Chain A
Amino acid sequence: MKWVKVTLRIGVVSLVIASFFFIQRLVMPKYVNGIVEGSLIETYYEEEGNHDVIFVGDCEVYECFSPVALWEEYGIPSFIRGSAQQLIWQSYYLMEETLRYEKPKVFIFNVLAMKYNEPQKEAYNRLTLDGMRLSSAKIKSIKASMMEDENMIDYIIPLFRYHSRWSELSFDDFRYFFNKKKLFHNGYYMRVDVRPVTTFPQGKKLPDYSFGDNAWGYLEKMKKLCDNNDIDLMLIKAPAIYPYWYDEWDEQIREYADSNDLIYLNFLDLIEETGIDYNTDTYDTGLHMNLSGAEKLSRYLGPILREKYGVPDRRNDTELSRIWEDKTTFYYEMKAAQETELAGK
């Protein structure tokens, strides 16, 4: 009965490995309360249907554009692959990874990340990288993002990083062990509350306004990736008034866009055109847009995507329409829930 023994041994080894995965899953942060942004990246893998437009970038994309508004008004299926302080190389490798699953018509990159030339903080790295599935793109992204005292293996086997959370485990860690509650759709982080802008900040003088070589290198890589795959690259700057966006920075991006035949939209210069009202369209005094702001920006962006890039209206696609119907329902339910919560305060 040799085969029984062998099967038994394989079974035991599998069980041991599975138990380590179980423990890892348990101690990993669930990001369902508090810093929910940590759940954004992983939602992409649950997606059904393709997207014609993929946004990449930091909080200035996942809070400033509404995929449901783009769908409802223009029939454009889109997804936001963004996370808090997502660095340009992280966005690049997310683009590279996206191509394993689908081929969009347009990638839209928010250029605020150009200000960072080096890795910044492990906590932010985690928000993007922990959500990615293991792939060569993830490995490259980790390599590019690690701080000096970090280790690649801590990202590949997150148990090594989060093992000390055993003493912080809460009910949520067990409750959301298998299934997390749905907090987002299509990578959009909805906020309906309003906190108007009170003062407009003035940027501190910088010793040097040039973007770093590393950041430029990745922008160039993004362009090449799009060129090689026959995808359009669009550059945007969301209308967030802080972190401050310097004219000198804007000029560099504009020059790059002009010389490479790219469209660059700085929404800070398009306040009138988009109809953004800093008294009603932001939930945190101008750092990020609320739902109203995000819908306005999406409504402005839709026609550009259609006219300049030929992104078609897919509302006639019955399969896609079914998928988006569910998303739209979730969207309005979440909106209503947040409004009810606000009214109760």
Chain B
Amino acid sequence: MLFTSYEFWGFIACLFLLYYLIPRKYQWVMLLAASYIFYFLAHPTYLIYISVTTMTTFYAAMRIGQLLNVQKAHLELNKETFSKEEKQGYKSSVRKKQRKWFIACLLINFGILAFLKYTNFTIANINSLLSVLGTGERLTFMNVILPMGISFYTFQAMGYLIDVYQGKIKPEKSIFRFALFVSFFPQLVQGPISRFNDLSATLYEEHRFDFKEVSYGFQRILWGLFKKLVIADRILVAVNTIIKEPDEYNGVFVFVGMMFYAIQLYADFTGGIDITIGIAEVLGIRIKENFNAPFLAKNITDYWRRWHITMGTWFRDYLFYPLSVSGPILNLSRWSRRRLGDGLGRKIPVYLTTLIVWFATGLWHGSSWNFIAWGLTNGIVIIISQAFEPLYARFHNKFPVKGKPLYSAFEVIRTVLLMSAIRMFDCYRDVPLTFRMFGSMFTTGNFSALFDREVMKLGLSGADYIVLAAATVILIASGIRRKEGSMRDRLEKIPARRRYLMIYLLGVIILLFGAYGVGYDATQFIYNQF
């Protein structure tokens, strides 16, 4: 069931009615049933994978928690008799047992993810290697189904496990409640990747029908549909026209495609998240925000603090930090400081960790060299910008332009262009082609095509361009005005008549100008594939 399908909205309508009709203490049970039905309807076999992840994580976390409880009780009981060394020894033995459960669970779940997502990618690379070596041997590709949202729910479940292992949270006692945390359907397909601490309370508590909250949720859903149907799925036609015919559409078209794809991805992903958060709000559940006006970022680090926030913080908390204090990295740090001095020597381990994290981030996005190159490029650009920081500081000391409106605009535009260029790895079929097309922007010189109305149609009509332009202006304006508070809060302050009129108009715009129904491809959200 696509978020943009009629069936999905029928499903939501039925759930909404039942959710507020049944006794409130059963609401979470209904959500669990709905989530599993949703997943079952997508593909019955998906249920096997999510159930395995749920059960193994629940059990491992429970064992880890039990061991901690036993440790506490044992230490309490022997408080008087245990020496400091005995305490340490006992703690270490418990930790070892906990680690066994922890590692086993990580291996099972990341193993499932790796097997399903990367087996054929690995086979393709082995085959390429065999071909280079000139052997006639080839491995056969496996017929594996990648369950919808597996990267999201695996990361969410493993985040929970790590938190339990690190003693940040207590393990959930009910497997069914935990199953709901893993499978909560609105966020199952494209995130956000929630933390147990953030989501559990709101997920399991009883929810009274609150008109304001439901109305807020409904507005958020409409806004998401506007982004997805009016902008993303319309501009998609032009993006596909450009990227599918790289020989024909090079030079200035690559630039146009790059910028169009930036708009498409933003509208598609943020639209999807708006729908997710809106559905949750309609059900009285609060989900963490995943975006904070990313195209207003002034540098790449700032951008990644604003884009796909829950993924970024997941990698930061569960990979970057643990990796930074891991044995091999600390050893490297000591070695590099000894050899290269305190300046560069201290940075080398940070850079290496950054590259590893970005390699993993790329791989998480997809099993292809494009995504790995995309991740590594992000990492490299971040490292370069960190390395140049002293240079920037000197520049700003000499020229005090920082904070001036014109310079701020320059920073924003620079970041948008940079991020859009890096994102080209998403578009073209392989890495060499991406580099070739990037280069063609500077070498082809077919700028006159920009003024050729026929050539610039790119599968869209003049009317489509008008709709796109108007909708993009609305989108940008709403992003810029975010500083003044959320759009819904601002709407709430204006007279009810005007507010409802605006909501009504948004509905009409989606109904009329949305790219949906017969004649349009039912387009999956881009982030569903990750």
A interface residues (Cβ-Cβ under 8 A, vs B): 12, 16, 19-20, 23, 27, 122, 149-151, 153-154, 159-161, 163-164, 166-167
Per-position binary interface string of chain B over residues 463-477, scored 1 when its CB falls under 8 Å from any chain A CB and 0 otherwise = 110000000000000
Q: Is there an interface contact between A164 and B519, defined as CB atoms closer than 8 Å?
A: yes
Kindly list chain A residues whose C-beta atoms are within 8 Å of the C-beta of B516: 160, 163
User: For residues 506 through 530 of chain B, which have their beta carbon under 8 Å from a beta carbon of chain A?
Assistant: 508, 511-520
* Alpha-carbon distance between A113 and B516 when the two chains are bound, in angstroms: 32
* Alpha-carbon distance between A153 and B8 when the two chains are bound, in angstroms: 13
* Alpha-carbon distance between A165 and B283 when the two chains are bound, in angstroms: 35
Would you give the shortest CB distance from B232 to chain A, in whole angstroms? 16
Kindly list chain A residues whose C-beta atoms are within 8 Å of the C-beta of B444: none
Kindly list chain A residues whose C-beta atoms are within 8 Å of the C-beta of B463: 166-167
**If A16-B504, A153-B6, A167-B463 touch, does A23 touch B517 (CB 8 Å cutoff)?**
no
* Alpha-carbon distance between A151 and B6 when the two chains are bound, in angstroms: 8
- 28 A–B contacts from the bound complex (CB under 8 Å): A16-B504, A19-B508, A20-B511, A27-B512, A122-B518, A150-B518, A151-B6, A151-B517, A151-B518, A153-B6, A154-B517, A154-B518, A159-B511, A160-B6, A160-B516, A160-B517, A163-B512, A163-B513, A163-B514, A163-B517, A164-B515, A164-B517, A164-B519, A164-B520, A166-B513, A167-B461, A167-B463, A167-B464
Most chain A CB within 10 A, of B461, B508, B515, B518, is at: B518
User: For residues 459 through 498 of chain B, which have their beta carbon under 8 Å from a beta carbon of chain A?
Assistant: 461, 463-464
| Top 10 closest pairs, chain A to chain B, by CB | A167-B463, A153-B6, A160-B517, A166-B512, A163-B512, A161-B517, A161-B518, A151-B6, A154-B517, A163-B511
Most chain B CB within 10 A, of A150, A166, A167, is at: A167
Per-position binary interface string of chain B over residues 446-462, scored 1 when its CB falls under 8 Å from any chain A CB and 0 otherwise = 00000000000000010
* Alpha-carbon distance between A122 and B512 when the two chains are bound, in angstroms: 21
Other A-B contacts than A23-B511, A159-B511, 15 sampled, CB-CB below 8 A, are A23-B512, A122-B518, A149-B518, A150-B518, A151-B6, A160-B6, A160-B516, A160-B517, A161-B517, A163-B511, A163-B517, A164-B517, A164-B519, A166-B463, A166-B513
Q: Is there an interface contact between B461 and A23, defined as CB atoms closer than 8 Å?
A: no
* Alpha-carbon distance between A101 and B97 when the two chains are bound, in angstroms: 79
* Alpha-carbon distance between A83 and B504 when the two chains are bound, in angstroms: 37
B interface residues (Cβ-Cβ under 8 A, vs A): 6, 461, 463-464, 500, 504, 508, 511-520
Kindly list chain A residues whose C-beta atoms are within 8 Å of the C-beta of B511: 20, 23, 159-160, 163
Would you give the shortest CB distance from A101 to chain B, in whole angstroms? 30
* Alpha-carbon distance between A307 and B514 when the two chains are bound, in angstroms: 58
* Alpha-carbon distance between A163 and B507 when the two chains are bound, in angstroms: 13
**For residue A20, which residue of chain B has the nearest CB?**
B511
Most chain A CB within 10 A, of B464, B508, B512, B515, is at: B512
* Alpha-carbon distance between A160 and B6 when the two chains are bound, in angstroms: 10
Would you give the shortest CB distance from B523 to chain A, in whole angstroms? 13
**For residue A167, which residue of chain B has the nearest CB?**
B463
* Alpha-carbon distance between A153 and B4 when the two chains are bound, in angstroms: 14
* Alpha-carbon distance between A255 and B6 when the two chains are bound, in angstroms: 45
Kindly list chain B residues whose C-beta atoms are within 8 Å of the C-beta of A20: 511
**For residue B5, which residue of chain A has the nearest CB?**
A151
Would you give the shortest CB distance from A153 to chain B, in whole angstroms? 5
Would you give the shortest CB distance from B283 to chain A, in whole angstroms? 23
Would you give the shortest CB distance from B504 to chain A, in whole angstroms? 6
Would you give the shortest CB distance from A21 to chain B, in whole angstroms? 12
Would you give the shortest CB distance from A165 to chain B, in whole angstroms? 9
Would you give the shortest CB distance from B173 to chain A, in whole angstroms? 43
**For residue A15, which residue of chain B has the nearest CB?**
B504
Kindly list chain B residues whose C-beta atoms are within 8 Å of the C-beta of A122: 518
Kindly list chain B residues whose C-beta atoms are within 8 Å of the C-beta of A166: 463, 512-513
**For residue A151, which residue of chain B has the nearest CB?**
B6
* Alpha-carbon distance between A167 and B461 when the two chains are bound, in angstroms: 9
* Alpha-carbon distance between A20 and B514 when the two chains are bound, in angstroms: 15
Kindly list chain B residues whose C-beta atoms are within 8 Å of the C-beta of A164: 515, 517, 519-520
* Alpha-carbon distance between A149 and B508 when the two chains are bound, in angstroms: 25
Would you give the shortest CB distance from A314 to chain B, in whole angstroms? 44
Kindly list chain B residues whose C-beta atoms are within 8 Å of the C-beta of A12: 500
* Alpha-carbon distance between A164 and B515 when the two chains are bound, in angstroms: 8
Kindly list chain A residues whose C-beta atoms are within 8 Å of the C-beta of B6: 151, 153, 160
Kindly list chain B residues whose C-beta atoms are within 8 Å of the C-beta of A153: 6
* Alpha-carbon distance between A164 and B6 when the two chains are bound, in angstroms: 17
* Alpha-carbon distance between A151 and B10 when the two chains are bound, in angstroms: 13
Kindly list chain B residues whose C-beta atoms are within 8 Å of the C-beta of A154: 517-518
Kindly list chain A residues whose C-beta atoms are within 8 Å of the C-beta of B461: 167
Would you give the shortest CB distance from B75 to chain A, in whole angstroms? 63
**For residue A149, which residue of chain B has the nearest CB?**
B518
* Alpha-carbon distance between A67 and B203 when the two chains are bound, in angstroms: 67
Kindly list chain A residues whose C-beta atoms are within 8 Å of the C-beta of B508: 19, 23
* Alpha-carbon distance between A23 and B463 when the two chains are bound, in angstroms: 18
Kindly list chain A residues whose C-beta atoms are within 8 Å of the C-beta of B518: 122, 149-151, 154, 161
* Alpha-carbon distance between A150 and B516 when the two chains are bound, in angstroms: 12
Kindly list chain A residues whose C-beta atoms are within 8 Å of the C-beta of B520: 164
Most chain B CB within 10 A, of A161, A163, A166, is at: A163
Kindly list chain B residues whose C-beta atoms are within 8 Å of the C-beta of A167: 461, 463-464
* Alpha-carbon distance between A19 and B519 when the two chains are bound, in angstroms: 24
Would you give the shortest CB distance from A73 to chain B, in whole angstroms? 44
Kindly list chain B residues whose C-beta atoms are within 8 Å of the C-beta of A27: 512
* Alpha-carbon distance between A16 and B515 when the two chains are bound, in angstroms: 22
**For residue A159, which residue of chain B has the nearest CB?**
B511
